[in-house]
Amino acid sequence: MKIAISSEGDNLNSNVNSRFGRARYFIVVDTESMNYKAIGKTAASSAGGAGTKAAQLLLDEGVDSIISSNVGPNALEVFQAAGISVYKSINDTIEKNVEEFKKGTLEKIELPTNNGHHGEH
C-alpha cells in the first residue's frame, strides 16, 4: 500500500506537519517495503488553492491513503471523490505514524477538520 504523509522534513525521522495544503514535504511510503520518497516541491508557496494542488500532486503519485491533520474541505472533497482514505496523524515522526497506520489505530477523517476557509485569495 502506498501512503502519503505531510511532513516537516525529507525522511522517515522527520516530524509530521499538521497542515496539509501548505506542508513543506510529503513522504510517500510503501508500507510493505518501507521504501519511501520525499516530495519537496509541494504547493506550500503557491499562489492559491494549495489544498487542491497538493491533492492533485498525491493523486498523480497514485497513493492509496493520506495521513495528515488539517485537511481542508476542498482537498477532502478531492480525496473522497477519488476514493482515497484520509487518516488523522499523531504528533510524532513519519515512521511512528506509518507504524500506527499499519496497526490500524489512526482515526479516519470523514468530515473536513477545518470547517472553513483558508485564505486562497
Partner 1 sequence: MKGYKIAVLSGKGGTGKTTVSSNLAKIQKSIYVDCDIEEPNGYLFLKPEIEKVKDVNVMIPSIDYDKCTLCGECTRACRFGALTKLIKKILVFDHLCHSCGACYEICPYNAINEIPKKIGAIRVGRSDDIDFIDGKLNIGEASGVPIIKEIKNLIKDTDKNVIIDSPPGTSCSVIHSIEGSDYCLLVTEPTPYGLHDLKLAVELVKEMNLPFVVIINKSGEEDSIIENYCKEESINVLAKIPFKKEYAELYSKGNLLIKEDDEIRHTFENLSQKLMELIGK
Partner 2 sequence: MKQLVILSGKGGTGKTTVATALSEIVENKVMADCDVEAPNLNILFNGEIQKVDNFYGKEVALIDDGKCIKCGLCETLCRFDAISDYKVNPYHCEGCGLCSYKCPSGAIKMIEENTGEIIVGENKKGEKIIYAELFPGADGSGKLVTEVRKKATENKGDCDYIIIDGTPGIGCPVLSSATGADIALIVTEPTVSGFEDMKRVLEAIESFKIKSLVCINKWNINKDISNKIEKYCQENSIDVVGKINFDETVIKALKRFQSINKFPDSTAYRQILDMWEKIKKYLDERMDA
Q: Which residues bind partner 2 (CB under 8 A)?
A: 19, 22, 45, 47-48, 114-121
- Choose among partner 2, partner 1, none what residue 106 binds, the Cβ cut-off being 5 to 8 Å by kind: none
- Choose among partner 2, partner 1, none what residue 82 binds, the Cβ cut-off being 5 to 8 Å by kind: partner 1
Contact with partner 1 (CB under 8 A) among 81, 91, 105, 108: 81
| Closest by Cα among 39, 54, 120, 42 to 86 | 54
Complex with partner 2: residue 42 or 65, whichever CB lies closer? 42
Complex with partner 1: residue 106 or 118, whichever CB lies closer? 118
Complex with partner 1: residue 103 or 121, whichever CB lies closer? 121
Contact between residue 7 and residue 25 where contact means Cβ atoms under 8 Å apart: yes
| Closest by Cα among 10, 39, 17, 4 to 92 | 17
Contact with partner 1 (CB under 8 A) among 24, 53, 88, 96: 53
- The reply on whether position 34 binds partner 1 by CB under 8 A is no
Give the C-alpha distances (Å, rounded to integers) separating 14 from 5, 68, 74.
11, 14, 26
Helix axes 73-82, 50-61, angle to 10 degrees: 30
